[in-house]
């Protein structure tokens, strides 16, 4: 029952011949009172509670493990219904507390610099498994922002991600403001267009290079489309509200950190009035790429700003517990990768 889209819950209530207002009551218990059992929904008649218990349950799980970094970043590990593991990062920064949600176990995009991509795709998370990461962290009520930047490519699990966003923002769900939520994606045009039709949250697009062929090498899962397709959608989005679109760029030594790359990035994004976040690469075992030195990152950032872009350097958080960007990767022995169609 937890994580069930509102329309599906309405259908369930109708099938049980309960009044329509029962949906609002149930959702309030699930997302405002955080009950763990149907029996705890005390303003529902006992007969209705018994009927619900016959066909459904509230399936939520506490974190299986938690680690705290020297910089106060926390990493939580959750078990999925398939008994696999997924990681979630919680990042405190001043008055902000950001929760980094995962949408898949592993990822099929296969970014060369990302430990999650090296896992390959092992499974999609359900809406309940995505939402459980928010519901079950001890700091839930202190969280100010949510980012879909954990394990997985959110648009490869489109329906579950949309359902989870709708429950996070619905007045009958958690009631969070749209601008408190950011979805990070490599930007596959077709699912991106469908997502934007259904959800109005901030976007952070993983760019990493302005050159088409190099992007296909660094992000193998983007080989089916070109940057022009993606930029057309993003320019339309930015015209509606430039604050809703930003770009991410992992800095890789002698790979994508030249001034030629900076100039080409500025040309690619010209006129969008957007922000680009430069992310230091975080090395991990089994990967031979190197991080760009801090001085060169600053030179790159300054060049982008000279060319008219707003550019910032993201602080590295949670390095000592492998919670930093690109490091989330559960250690359970691998199973055969799943094939997801569509």
Give the number of residues written for the chain. 342
Rounded to the nearest 5 degrees, what angle is found at the Cα of 103, between the Cα atoms of 102 and 106?
A: 80
Kindly list the strands in the beta sheet with 74-79, ordered across the sheet, starting from the edge strand earlier in the chain. 65-68, 74-79, 85-93, 96-100, 145-148, 181-185, 202-206, 245-251, 275-280, 310-313
The Cα 275–Cα 290 span in angstroms is 24
Catalytic residue among 100, 107, 199, 325: 325
Taking the C-alpha atoms of residue 154 and residue 255, their distance in angstroms, rounded to an integer, is 26
> Sign (positive/negative) of CA torsion 136, 137, 143, 146?
negative
Our answer to whether residue 260 is catalytic in this structure is no
> How far apart (Å, rounded) are the C-alpha atoms in residues 113 and 117?
8
Q: Is 197 a catalytic residue?
A: no
Write down the catalytic residue from 87, 153, 248, 322.
Answer: 87
**Cα atoms in the Cβ-side hemisphere of radius 13 Å centred on 299:** 10
The closest alpha carbon to 322, from 106, 88, 80, belongs to 88
> Is the C-alpha dihedral spanning 42, 47, 51, 53 positive or negative?
positive
Report, as residue numbers or ranges, the catalytic residues. 87, 325
């Amino acid at each position: 029952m937890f994580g069930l889209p509102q329309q599906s819950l309405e259908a369930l209530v109708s099938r049980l011949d309960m009044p329509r207002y029962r949906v609002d009551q149930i959702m309030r218990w699930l997302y405002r009172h955080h009950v763990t059992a149907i029996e705890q929904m005390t303003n529902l008649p006992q007969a209705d509670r018994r009927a619900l218990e016959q066909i459904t349950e509230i399936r939520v799980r506490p974190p299986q493990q938690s680690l705290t970094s020297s910089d106060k970043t926390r990493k939580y590990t959750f078990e999925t219904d398939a008994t696999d593991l997924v990681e979630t990062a919680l990042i405190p920064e001043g008055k902000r507390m950001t929760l980094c949600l995962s949408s898949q176990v592993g990822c099929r995009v296969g970014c060369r610099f990302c430990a999650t991509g090296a896992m390959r795709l092992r499974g999609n998370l359900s809406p309940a498994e995505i939402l459980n990461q928010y519901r079950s962290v001890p700091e839930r009520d202190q969280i100010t922002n949510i980012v879909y930047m954990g394990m997985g490519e959110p648009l490869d699990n489109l329906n579950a991600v949309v359902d989870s966003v709708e429950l996070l923002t619905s007045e009958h769900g958690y009631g969070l403001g749209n601008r408190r939520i950011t979805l990070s994606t490599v930007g596959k045009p077709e699912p991106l267009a469908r997502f934007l039709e259904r959800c109005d949250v901030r976007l952070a697009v993983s760019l990493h290079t302005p050159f088409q062929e190099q992007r296909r090498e660094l992000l193998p899962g983007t080989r089916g489309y070109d940057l022009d397709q993606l930029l057309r959608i993003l320019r339309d989005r930015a015209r509606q509200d430039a604050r809703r679109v930003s770009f991410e760029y992992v800095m890789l030594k002698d790979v994508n950190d030249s001034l030629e790359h900076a100039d080409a990035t500025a040309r690619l994004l010209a006129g969008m009035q957007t922000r680009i976040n430069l992310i230091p690469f975080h090395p991990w075992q089994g990967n031979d790429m190197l991080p760009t030195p801090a001085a060169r990152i600053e030179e790159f950032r300054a060049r982008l700003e000279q060319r008219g872009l707003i550019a910032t350097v993201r602080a590295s958080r949670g390095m000592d517990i492998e919670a930093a960007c690109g490091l989330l990767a559960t250690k359970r022995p691998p199973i055969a990768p799943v094939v997801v169609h569509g």
